[in-house]
Structure 1
Amino acid sequence: MADENILPYPYEFYDLTDEEKSLNDKLHNYPYELARLGPKGYIVTKAFKKDAANIYNLPLRSSDIFVTTYQRSGTTWTQELVWLLASDLNYEKALTVPLIERYSFLEMFMFMPDAGLESFMKVVSQNNENFNKETTMQMVEWLRTPVTRNLASRPSPRFIKSHLPMSLLPPKLLDTAKMVYVARDPRDVAVSFYHHTRLFMHNGFKGTFKQFWHLFCESLLVLTPFFEHVKEAWEKRHDPNMLFLFYEDLSKDLPAAVKRVADFLGKKLDDAQTAALCDHLSIENFKKNKAVNFEELRGLGMFAKDEVFIRKGKAGGWRDYFDEEMTQQAEKWIEDNLKDTDLRFPTVK
């Protein structure tokens, strides 16, 4: 007898067009295939299909805390902030237990090589002087395993990270669990995403930033279209279980952002505790904190040697990458996509 609580998966997967596939293949050597999903055409890897329904039907707890973003929008920064507030400022654990272990990354499995495992292992071995096949395979298998298989055994409160849009998450999530969603100016997202793509050796990105920006605007990168992602969360911003933040506000006034998150989680901090937390989260200290920089993946040879996970943490840095033509194109692209909504990104000079 079927479980009445299990919802049928409402979305269909479909292939990219030949033209879209060709554009991506010219610039990437992905160890996986891309597909589109649902009426908005979100880009996912085909591996996502194996756990999409389980994610959609994920059993939730009232103590669950989600940190959700379009990638490169301040996710790691916010994860650390949320975890420390919810864990009564346990800095000792925060500095010794990697963030990748403190949070379950809901769709991590889809970013790992599927059919291209052999070529992935070859790339990693060439990038790691101390390559150990057995150790690397253990880590890869752990990363490839959908976390829905072990979330039930995780103690409360469970901390869950996701870059999925609201429509691909459990439909009644905000009826039960809390979510902190962070949005960021798409121009800064694109710059950070470009470096992030170059960071992971197995993505094999070989294009310029201008080419990357084109893929981003044309919704040909993972989990684009960007604006649909942000607008889905923006529509839920008044829900009592949703805290919608802008990266620019965190960057401009971190103590005020800390207070907003603390209030949302029902936590009280005095001035000294707030100052200490802001110091821990300062970009200078954050860049040196191995627990949040995914150093375990660098140790396996998955990272390019000239790129880092935590970069500049700067708002408005896109101006260093955009020429006049791109700047005008970006302004029109943003304006066109925001004309049907009151969503506006904070202005950073």
Structure 2
Amino acid sequence: MGDENNLPYPFEFRDITDEEKLVIDKLHDFPYASELARLGPKGYIVNKAFKKDAANIYNLPLKSSDIFVTSYQRSGTTWTQELVWLLASDLDYEKALAVPLVDRYSFLEMFMFVPDAGLDSFINTVSQNTENFNKETMLQIVNFLGTPASRKLAITPSPRFIKSHLPMSLLPPKVLDTAKMVYIARDPRDVAVSFYHHTRLFMLTGFKGTFKEFWQLFHGDLLALTPYFEHVKEAWEKRHDPNMLFLFYEDLSKDLPAAIHRVADFLGKKLDDAQTAALCDHLSIENFKKNKAVNFEEFRALGMLAKDEAFVRKGKTGGWRDYFDEKMTQQAEKWIADNLKDTDLRFPSTN
């Protein structure tokens, strides 16, 4: 695709309000709100760094062999990525265990999560978190993470596996005309709990608040790529497209073999009972926690992960009940009902 064929970028970036900045910054170690903007008519929260590659992502040259795994973050993305990759790669467990998932998938918007304003704060935190801190190595890693994926994808051989937490409207507009996509959704209350621990784990934003304060940011559309429901509904509207498979985390959790067969059918693969059982075993939460290729433990040795958090946690549904008080529960129920009233989208019950 030549530049002359590129679509003009249709969305405007706008600053968040001063009131929103105050709410955000009191919960972070550095002025994190200065990194953020709202994008497009739905006001998705993005880091301002997204500007440098937004148009390239929107105009990303696609191939029919491309497979996207997309979601709102902490919805079961990593689990789904591993499942999709193994099915598409004819169950190559040897490679799956040897090559980290981050090297098997291009993370489309990872570059925007490397904060400019908070970089010194983050590096200082990391230096206190490891005995063998090397600033030069750390800056090389940060530089790698901050490199736009569109550049990496231009030289990635097929089949290309692409992960993204961007909503459909920020992806290439004709993505489903060419590539396949698996979207995974999860009860937003469980998403909030998992996202809270994830934010504490990676320390990039310097978040220092309680879960209750984190929930108010999530509920108030003040976290990355919120509003949550707009994100999910954009994918839900495309669920009947032959190149889209819409999954619920709760369904994977309840009946993994059935979910595996749905994904296999979508990718044109057939599994016998023994292969299905072996894949279920590989994807079990117990084995996933121990699997160094998927749990980001290589970052722990570098001091980039908080010592009291893990990337793969409990993997259960309905765990939000351990975190929500009565007032938060009622607020969440009303929020969910209000956002689903004009749609047939319903999250599977976790009772």
Q: TM over 0.5, yes or no?
A: yes
Measure, in 2, the Cα distance between the counterparts of 1:114 and 1:106.
Answer: 19
Give 1:113 shift: 2.3
* 1:244-283 matches, cutoff 5 A: 244-283=246-285
Distance 2:91 2:331 in 1: 44
Q: CA deviation at 1:126?
A: 1.2
- Could you say what secondary structure the match of 1:156 adopts? coil
Question: Residue 16 of structure 2 contacts residue 37 of structure 2 at CA under 8 Å; is this kept in 1?
Answer: yes
SS at match of 1:35: strand
The aligned residue for residue 217 of structure 2 is 215
Partner letter of residue 214 of structure 1? Q
Whether the 8 Å CA contact 2:202–2:304 is kept in 1: the answer is: yes
Deviation at residue 115 of structure 1 after TM alignment: 3.5
Contact 2:104 2:161 in 1 (8 A): yes
The answer to whether the 8 Å contact 1:29/1:202 transfers is no
Per the normalisation by structure 2, the TM-score is 0.97
Which one of 139, 164, 167 corresponds to residue 165 of structure 1? 167
Q: Which moved further from structure 2: 118-127 or 156-165? A: 118-127
Q: Hey, what does 1:117 align to over in structure 2?
A: 119
User: C-alpha separation between the residues in 2 aligned to 1:113 and 1:302?
Assistant: 14
1:134-283 alignment to 2 at 5 Å?
134-283=136-285
Answer whether contact 1:123 1:202 (CA < 8 A) is retained: no
Q: Is the 8 A contact 1:28 1:205 kept in 2?
A: yes
**Cα displacement string for residues 41-75 of structure 1 (whole angstroms, at most 9, x for unaligned residues):** 00000100100000000000000000000000000
Instruction: Find the aligned partners of 1:4 and 1:146 in 2 and give their Cα distance.
Output: 21
Q: Once superposed, what is the RMSD of the aligned Cα atoms?
A: 1.1
In 1, Cα distance between equivalents of 2:245 and 2:29? 37
Distance in 2 (CA, whole Å) between partners of 1:125 and 1:231 is 41
TM-score if structure 1 supplies the norm length? Answer: 0.98
Aligned partner of 1:23 in structure 2 is 23
How big is the shift at 1:123? 1.5
Q: Is the 1:65–1:158 Cα contact (8 Å) retained in structure 2?
A: yes
**Relative to structure 2, which stretch is displaced further, 139-148 or 197-206?**
197-206
1:300 to 286, 293, 302: 302
The answer on 1:338 being equivalent to 2:340 is yes
Which secondary structure state, in structure 2, belongs to the residue aligned with residue 203 of structure 1? coil
Measure, in 1, the Cα distance between the counterparts of 2:196 and 2:110. 19
| Equivalent in the alignment of 2:9 | 9
Distance of 1:202 and 1:170 partners within structure 2: 28
Distance between the aligned counterparts of 1:298 and 1:108, measured in 2? Answer: 18
Per the alignment, residue 96 of structure 2 pairs with 94
| CA distances 1:256-308 after superposition (whole Å, capped 9, x unpaired) | 00000000000010000000000000000000001001112222211110000
Which whole-Å CA distance do the structure 2 matches of 1:19 and 1:171 have between them? 33
Residues in 1 aligned to 2:48 and 2:155: alpha-carbon distance in whole angstroms: 27
SS in structure 2 at match of 1:62: coil
Give, in whole Å, the separation in 1 of the partners of 2:332 and 2:3: 47
1:191: Cα distance to partner?
A: 0.5
Detail structure 1 runs of 4+ shifted over 6 Å in the superposition: none
1:75-90 paired onto structure 2 within 5 Å: 75-90=77-92
**Any stretches of 5+ residues in structure 1 without a counterpart?**
none
Q: Distance in 2 between matches of 1:18 and 1:137?
A: 32
Which whole-Å CA distance do the structure 1 matches of 2:188 and 2:172 have between them? 25
Amino acid at match of 2:125: V
Local SS of the residue matching 2:293: helix
Q: Deviations over 1:296-344 (max 9, x none)?
A: 2222211110000000000111111111111111111000000111000
Q: How do 1:61-76 residues align onto structure 2 when only pairs under 5 Å count?
A: 61-76=63-78
User: In structure 1, what is the Cα distance between the partners aligned to 2:317 and 2:118?
Assistant: 36
Question: Gaps (5+ residues) in structure 2?
Answer: none
One-letter amino acid of the structure 1 residue matched with residue 215 of structure 2: W
Deviation at 1:94, TM superposition (A): 0.6
